[in-house]
């Protein structure tokens, strides 16, 4: 299961979502700008006060890190 923590206008969040969609992955988006509990959850999981944060089955990716996403999702 993939969870992506975002804010409304964050360009890297949009790119990360596009990347996941274009590779056929579905995800749950949590806009931490609107969702306070989601924000707390993100901070607890990652220690980050920056977005995007992506949780792929417990593996945390900080930022739009294509290399790490490809590695975890086994994308060639």
Q: Which of 41, 49, 47, 6 is nearest to 27 (CA)?
A: 6
Q: Is 74 in the site for other proteins (CB under 8 A)?
A: no
Write out the binding residues for other proteins, residues 1-20 only, by CB under 8 A.
7-15
Calpha distance 52→4 (Å, rounded): 7
Write out the binding residues for other proteins, residues 13-52 only, by CB under 8 A.
13-15, 32-33, 39, 47-51
The dihedrals phi and psi of 6, each to the nearest 5 degrees, come to: -135, 170
Instruction: Tell me which residues touch other proteins (CB under 8 A).
Output: 7-15, 32-33, 39, 47-51, 62-63, 66-67
């Amino acid at each position: 299961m993939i969870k992506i923590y975002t804010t409304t206008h964050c360009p890297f969040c949009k790119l990360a979502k596009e990347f996941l969609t274009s590779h056929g992955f579905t995800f749950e988006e949590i806009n931490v700008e609107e969702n306070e509990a989601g924000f707390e959850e993100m901070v607890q999981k990652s220690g980050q006060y920056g977005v995007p944060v992506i949780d792929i089955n417990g593996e945390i990716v900080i930022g739009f890190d294509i290399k790490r996403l490809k590695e975890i999702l086994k994308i060639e």
